[in-house]
Homo-oligomer: A and B are copies of this chain.
Amino acid sequence: MNFTLNKNTRICVDATDYPGIARVAGKVTGDFELVFGSSEKPERHSGSFSEADLQDGWVYAGCIDHSDMIRFFGKAGLADFSAVRGKREVYSLTALEADGKKILVIAGSDKRGTIYGLFRISELLGVSPWVWFADVLPAKKDDVTIPFREPVISKEPSVKYRGFFINDEWPSFGTWTNKHFGGFNADVYDHVFELLLRMHGNYLWPAMWSSCFSEDGPGTASAELADEYGVVMGTSHHEPCMRHGEEFSHVKGVDSPYGNDWNFSRNREGLIRFWRDGLKRNAPFENIVTVGMRGEADSEMLGRECTTLDNINYLKDVITTQNDLIWEVYGDRSFKVEKVFAVYKEVENFYYGDEENEGLRTWEGLDGTIILLSDDNHGNMRLLPPAVDRNHKGGFGMYYHLDYHGGPVSYEWVNSTYIPRIAEQMGQARECGVSDLWIVNVGDIKPLEYPLNFFMDLAYDYEKWSEDYASYPGYFAAKQFPEADKETVSAAASILEDYSRLNSVRRPETIGPDVFSPVYYKENESMLKKAEDIADRAEKLYQRFRGTASEDAFFQLVYFPAKASANLLKMMLFAGKNNLLASRGCPSANGYADGIKACLEEDARLCDCYHKSRDGKWDGMMLSEHIGFMNWNEEEHMLPQRTYVTPYSNDRVCVSVTGNPEYTMGGDWTRKDILMTDLLIPGGVGEIRLENCCVSGCSWKAETEENADWIQLSGMEGCLEGAAKDANGSKDMGRNVAVIAVSADKDLLHQACMAAESENITGTVTVRCGRCLARIVVAARDHSEEERSAKHYVPVLPGNLKAPRGGTALACAIEAAEYDEITPGRDCNFKVYDPYGKYHSGIRTYPADGGNKNPSDMPSALYTFCLPEEGTYEVTLIQAPGGPVLKDTYCRFGVSVNEGEIFATAAVDDTYKAGENSCRQWCHSVLVHEKRSAFTIQGKKGKNTIRIYGFDPGVVLMRILIRKAEGENPASFFGPLPSFVV
């Protein structure tokens, strides 16, 4: 049957039920008002409930065990709650007709189940979880009719505790809440709890840099409100016994009952008192109590002179004491108290122990306590529970980061996490049994709405979103822009997908002018194209949303992050070009300098718009620094400098070619030949770039020298205007610049090579500009049919030619998904993630720790490639930055070349420590978003194969790079373009 909601719909709850249910009913009523224009207040029924109390069109909501009213529906046989009963956080929606009245019954298995059921109504009305927190307005309607063929039964959440952590909340969240709410109090948390619940979350770590959740409500107001809402409160991993980070410093003192020293050896009694009072204060509420201890301000607990055993014993003492305190405070209820112990950074050693000392891992004192693991602060899995540990009583949790304040670099600005990476990485955790608690550091909440919502959805319905993650952008966009047409939603989704992917491969804060090569692989140019494309699409779409109800939501959720990060990327790409061209004395540098200035102004404008939008509702929220970090935090960050070149008054041209950092100005004495290698690639096309650096115009004329008639030039002559004296905003392709495309006439090249009795040949192009004369030596190959049609071909510089300083661009990149075949393993297979990570795709053993180390039991992927000549080649396996995820593994793959012997190749060694700023390897891998292992092979001319075997758990292959093992690998962020696949 159908059930229709409209402005007359009234929600009825039982006065005996949890008060939070009535509160949430009020929120849903608010949603009615947004959708229908007005609404009726919820009805709070007191006393016994009977059929006579039923009103046509009303919604009856309650917890099956707490609401007499809901019990009535069961008893009366009007609804069946057996599918709900005994489950966790589950609800049913039953539309029925009784006594001639159509009603809807929301029955929750428990308080949160009921609340999720109520918010399900909002969802059905088209109200987003972000209705308040991102000004997502639902479509206005007269009524909404929901067809019920049978009762809706919700699923039990995939993960038990699901929540987020407001962290690194200064300057943005802190400034904002101080301005609008007067502090970190119950008023602001009301909105936070609502958001959490609407996203099916149930767990929260509150802000703790400068505030004490249980003191600032005022008093325990926030804690009480959380409890009313059914939000389980935690404190972060290093705040034991419901005490907040800052709290000890507020109450400590020489004369304080809590003592003055955060050290359990020296101030045992004081700390016990401190913890006991914390537990007592929060005992009335639903909490997860953190146990354990570490030093103040994220430091180590004991001094360096102490042994591992000292530390283990110290922690055992602390935890035993805390367990005792819980027993003392909670009494009989204590067996129900959830506890969490964080295995974070330095504590890891004491958890795992060493050869001589059994760690806390097997200690019964942690039985019943959730072991909270964590990523490496940059979204990559670190150690996961090995199979042998998974029966731990208490289970496992994962602390993940969408925001981080620490080394090697903080990221606290717009989203720089890519959804598929969350799915794949949190998938590894789940595959290894981590499903009791998922908490994510979400910074200031805004502007991380998008990945936060995905994280929460994944935690609530892992089965769906671990597989369907690629459809999430569209799903999310549709929810936030309910009035938009399909095409608009799809356009918004693709912007979400593209900006977040772009940001994820290099965090915006860490993009400097030198990151993307202005020389090799047209990396700068292609990134600029991407950035401009995203910015253009965002701008166009924003114009479409202007004046609609979704304008603000689009601005906050899509436009701002996409536009601002594309703008920052553009700024740095301009700076890279500016540096390169200025160093060559090219006046086109000036256009880029102006471009940098415009981007800096645009950045300020965007922040300003954000702060002014919605009548200043979000004023203060966009204060995080984000440009040019030189350190782990924003201190001493550098805005890109703008360098201007003065055009020259004498004849002067700068000639360069694709993929070669050398250039010439064609002077008589300083002239040098410039090598072009593009025609060594089948179908390759090179470019010669001429820039007139002189104020006067000049004509140019290109010629191929004798016997080089196989070289085809897109232009043979032309005029270059003089370089403008002042920067005029025109960039690279100003009229003082010309680009000549260079390609080969296949037949003439073949003839020339036949005549030369060689597969390779060189020819020379001379370009005369004014009085300058430049010579470009074009290397080419008369590719065989096999080479031309090969799936992957490795272009090679002929031995008689010298690579330019900086290295040649010649190499072949094979995408992980470009395999010929995958052979499954015994207990596992390769799972293909596409899209994924830094490049295009990834493959990894699934489940993460499936199979064993015997290669014949492992899945393998076969790749073929073609070589122009036999010799020693360098193969580099590029993998995702995560792992190792089990102790004593090294991110290894097994490799077999031309089906020869299998050998293992490791990306890390014993010294590798994920999450440790002192580990340069790790720092590098999170900055460049990959790990590499390289080895040389003896290749034969023609077809060769490489077979990659799964080996260590958790390793995701992204790319294979093959090149002649000579000279430098050119500096570039992405390396060669994939495959040169014809």
Contact = CB atoms under 8 A, between A and B. Distances in A.
A642 B650 CA distance: 20
A636 B632 CA distance: 39
Interface string A625-644: 10000011111101101111
Given A641-B644, A645-B639, A669 B597 contact: no
A631 B669 contact: yes
Contacts of A604: 649
26 contacts: A585-B636, A585-B638, A585-B639, A593-B644, A600-B646, A625-B650, A631-B669, A631-B670, A632-B669, A633-B667, A633-B670, A635-B665, A635-B667, A635-B669, A635-B670, A636-B665, A639-B645, A639-B646, A641-B643, A641-B644, A641-B645, A642-B644, A642-B646, A643-B643, A643-B644, A644-B644
A582 interface: yes
A669 B633 contact: yes
Contacts of A634: 650
Interface string A607-641: 00000000000000000010000011111101101
Contacts of A641: 582, 589, 643-646
A218 B635 CA distance: 74
A910 interface: no
B593 A667 contact: no
A558 to B, nearest CB: 25
Contacts of A593: 644
Interface string A254-279: 00000000000000000000000000
Contacts of A670: 631, 633, 635-636
Given A585-B636, A635-B670, 4 more contacts: A631-B670, A634-B650, A635-B668, A636-B665
Interface string A814-829: 0000000000000000
Contacts of A589: 641
Most B C-beta atoms less than 10 A away, residue of A585, A635, A639:
A635
A648 interface: yes
A643 B645 contact: no
A773 to B, nearest CB: 12
Q: Which 4 A-B pairs have the closest CB atoms?
A: A635-B667, A635-B670, A642-B644, A643-B643
Interface string A562-582: 000000000000000000001
Contacts of A644: 593, 641-644
A585 B629 CA distance: 12
Contacts of A585: 636, 638-639
A589 B636 CA distance: 16
A804 to B, nearest CB: 17
A589 B639 CA distance: 14
Nearest to A650: B625
Contact of A648 (B639, B642, B669): B639
A337 to B, nearest CB: 38
Nearest to A665: B636
Contacts of A669: 631-633, 635
A836 to B, nearest CB: 34
A202 B944 CA distance: 81
Contacts of A600: 646
A603 to B, nearest CB: 10
Contacts of A638: 585
A842 B636 CA distance: 47
Nearest to A635: B667
Nearest to A772: B635
Contacts of A645: 639, 641
Nearest to A663: B636
Interface string A519-562: 00000000000000000000000000000000000000000000
Contacts of A639: 585, 645-646, 648
A45 to B, nearest CB: 56
Contacts of A665: 635-636
Nearest to A631: B670
A69 to B, nearest CB: 56
A648 to B, nearest CB: 7
Interface in A374-396: none
Contacts of A636: 585, 665, 667, 670
Nearest to A647: B639
Contacts of A582: 641
Contacts of A667: 633, 635-636
Nearest to A671: B635
Contacts of A642: 643-644, 646
A632 B645 CA distance: 22
A688 to B, nearest CB: 18
Nearest to A585: B638
Nearest to A652: B636
Interface string A659-686: 0000001011110000000000000000
A3 B588 CA distance: 70
A582 B667 CA distance: 31
A638 B633 CA distance: 36
A476 to B, nearest CB: 32
A649 B634 CA distance: 12
Nearest to A642: B644
Contacts of A631: 669-670
A585 B650 CA distance: 33
Most B C-beta atoms less than 10 A away, residue of A604, A641, A645, A649:
A641
A627 to B, nearest CB: 10
Interface in A584-608: 585, 589, 593, 597, 600, 604
A625 to B, nearest CB: 7
A600 to B, nearest CB: 5
A652 to B, nearest CB: 8
A551 to B, nearest CB: 27
A636 B586 CA distance: 11
Contacts of A650: 625, 634
A625 B631 CA distance: 43
A837 to B, nearest CB: 31
A642 B634 CA distance: 26
A634 B634 CA distance: 43
A859 to B, nearest CB: 45
A650 B645 CA distance: 29
A646 B637 CA distance: 12
Nearest to A582: B641
Contact of A597 (B632, B635, B646): B646
A917 B593 CA distance: 38
Nearest to A625: B650
A307 to B, nearest CB: 30
A667 B650 CA distance: 47
A631 B585 CA distance: 14
A668 B625 CA distance: 15
A872 to B, nearest CB: 36
Most B C-beta atoms less than 10 A away, residue of A589, A633, A665, A670:
A670
Interface string A46-87: 000000000000000000000000000000000000000000
A754 to B, nearest CB: 36
Nearest to A640: B646
